A and B are shown apart, each in its own frame.
Chain A
Amino acid sequence: QVQLVQSGAEVKKPGASVKVSCKTSGYTFSNYYVHWVRQAPGQGLEWMGFINPNDGRTTYAQRFQGSLTVTRDMSTTTVYMELTGLSADDTAVYYCAKATRFLQYFETWGKGTTVTVSS
């Protein structure tokens, strides 16, 4: 079955970077975009960006331009999300989510990775 397994919780200091992984399995990796969505404590869902694993092309939300990098490793069918210049406002649960073949709604989600930014 389709699975997205994310890396464990992280605690970072302000100004640092974090890199979260999303190991995928159970489907043809190159055929489906993988997105990142975050959720601050007690808040709603915020879309961050996505990668086309087939060619590595990425699209990011405007507010994350310059701070977000999404990459993929075809050999391990893993997607990575790196966020730089962390502040307390980046404290959130970060989810990876698999889109459908042609449309960008999310059939399968990872369980989430908690990133805490604190001095």
Chain B
Amino acid sequence: EMVLTQSPGTLSLSPGERATLSCRASQSVGNNYLAWYQQKPGQAPRLLIYGISSRATDIPDRFSGSGSGTEFTLTISRLETEDFAVYYCQQYGTAPTTFGGGTKVEIK
């Protein structure tokens, strides 16, 4: 199965700073089928991005996704306090669908 490796494991930043999260796939992601989710403690994941760069409903434009092939990035242009959370990438182009191990964005 396709392995997704997220880095860094933890990102310590201050509100207002830019966050850059990486997701690397063990093989090319078919049809650019890559999504990003945000998860806060005690909550279910929330879809942020699908198809590498399309924002889900009601997701603010400070969240953006980019990349191709095996390298993908989630960028949060200016961190708000509510953005401190864990972020997961998911590929759904090759069965079985798989998730990355997550990146925690914490307040510095």
User: Please, which residues of chain A bring their CB within 8 A of the CB of B95?
Assistant: 59
Given A44-B88, A110-B44, the answer on whether A104 and B56 have CB atoms closer than 8 Å is no
**Is the CB–CB distance between B88 and A104 below 8 Å?**
no
| Number of B interface residues in the complex (CB < 8 A) | 22
- B 69-108 contacts with A by CB, 8 A: 88, 90, 92, 95-102
Chain B residue nearest to A61 (CB atoms) is: B96
User: Please, which residues of chain B bring their CB within 8 A of the CB of A44?
Assistant: 88, 99-102
**Is the CB–CB distance between A47 and B98 below 8 Å?**
yes
**Is the CB–CB distance between A105 and B92 below 8 Å?**
yes
For the complex, is B63 an interface residue (Cβ under 8 Å from A)?
no
User: Please, which residues of chain A bring their CB within 8 A of the CB of B3?
Assistant: none
| Complex Cα spacing A103 to B47, Å | 14
| Complex Cα spacing A90 to B45, Å | 19
Given A44-B101, A47-B97, the answer on whether A103 and B92 have CB atoms closer than 8 Å is yes
**Is the CB–CB distance between A106 and B47 below 8 Å?**
yes
User: Please, which residues of chain A bring their CB within 8 A of the CB of B29?
Assistant: none
Chain A residue nearest to B49 (CB atoms) is: A105
**Is the CB–CB distance between A46 and B45 below 8 Å?**
no
User: Please, which residues of chain B bring their CB within 8 A of the CB of A47?
Assistant: 96-99
| Complex Cα spacing A112 to B33, Å | 25
**Is the CB–CB distance between B101 and A105 below 8 Å?**
no
* 9 pairs of residues in contact across A and B, judged by CB atoms under 8 Å: A37-B99, A44-B100, A45-B102, A47-B97, A59-B95, A61-B96, A103-B92, A105-B90, A107-B47
Binding site for B on A (CB under 8 A): 37, 44-47, 59, 61-62, 95, 100, 103-107, 109-112
Binding site for A on B (CB under 8 A): 33, 35, 37, 43-47, 50, 56-57, 88, 90, 92, 95-102
